[in-house]
Chain A
Amino acid sequence: MQASRARLFKEYKEVQREKTADPDIQLVCDDSNIFKWTALIKGPSETPYEGGVFQLAFSVPEQYPLQPPQVRFLTKIFHPNVHFKTGEICLDILKNAWSPAWTLQSVCRAIIALMAHPEPDSPLNCDSGNLLRSGDVRGYQSMARMYTRLAAMPKKG
């Protein structure tokens, strides 16, 4: 508990210090609980998520960083490796490939990379996975773009 708190505090200070280091990621620690974080990440360019801003919720276990944080999308997203209803993410580094050398910041970077490079073979969203696996890239892209516009873009006016 003490080790995880100390480590999270280090990450917190690092985030404060380097606020502008990565313009695509904005990590915010909960005011009352250092084990709860949220992040806003920008959809990578040249993907159907471009222009969208996606919110992630982090729940950090007491064994952190020996155990990975739990992360899910709060913003609706159409992506083969993200559960459409719960926002749960299928990403190896959040499971068996976790290393304590990862940080919340680097997890965000890995999620952005996953948005740009979906893995249709381990789908949490079957519709989306099937579109990609059957080679219907345009179908997948237009669905993903539609949900980005509906859910991840500030309403105009």
Chain B
Amino acid sequence: MDRAAGDPMLTMTGVHTFYGAIEALKGIDLTVATGEIVTLIGANGAGKSTLLMTLCGAPQARYGRIVFEGEDITRLPTCQIVRRGIAQSPEGRRIFPRMTVLENLQLGAITAPASYAEELERVFLLFPRLKERSAQRGGTLSGGEQQMLAIGRALMSRPRLLLLDEPSLGLAPLVIRQIFQVIRDINRDHGMTVFMVEQNAHRALRLAHRAYVMVNGLITLTGTGAGLLANPEVRAAYLEGGH
């Protein structure tokens, strides 16, 4: 499946997601093109994590359509979606605490056992710290190391689309810089398409080619990263004060 940069890889059309009676996504339209870094920013509770999880079918969208590489994945079970080439480093990282770093990475490769050795080497190259810690239990890692492991684990499946949910949350500035550098590198050097949710809007907008702003379950603004950085509305709501 050779796709040129710029082709739409992922399309969401009119996607609604519910938790019981609560409507968390109220009709989302967005696209991510092959080779892009796209970021989604928005306040706490806007529905960003729900959007990423809906892409993976957990929970499934109630209405609307999600198309990945030309295939409708809206109704596929989570494990099948992941097998199509989407990997997620989820909110809260969700490292398996009682398994070693290496086992966490092995689990990441469970859908792609053939390329395990090669990917492991690549992940250790991106995050040398994980190699040092490979025999340690996931639960004993620092927050930054856990985030590296969550991203590394996602990369082990050789995804074509990498979903990242707040990779900078709770981390020291130095670690954030390192992680954003890795995101930039895997996008530039390996052509990995990245769709990233961030509260750290400033850094995210500087890194991303394009961005969406989400408020209360709806996309309210979209543009290039640089464009949104300069947008007075965005500046007022997400950039000034704090960051």
Q: Do A and B come from one complex?
A: no
| Chain A contact residues, CB within 8 Å of chain B | none
| Chain B contact residues, CB within 8 Å of chain A | none
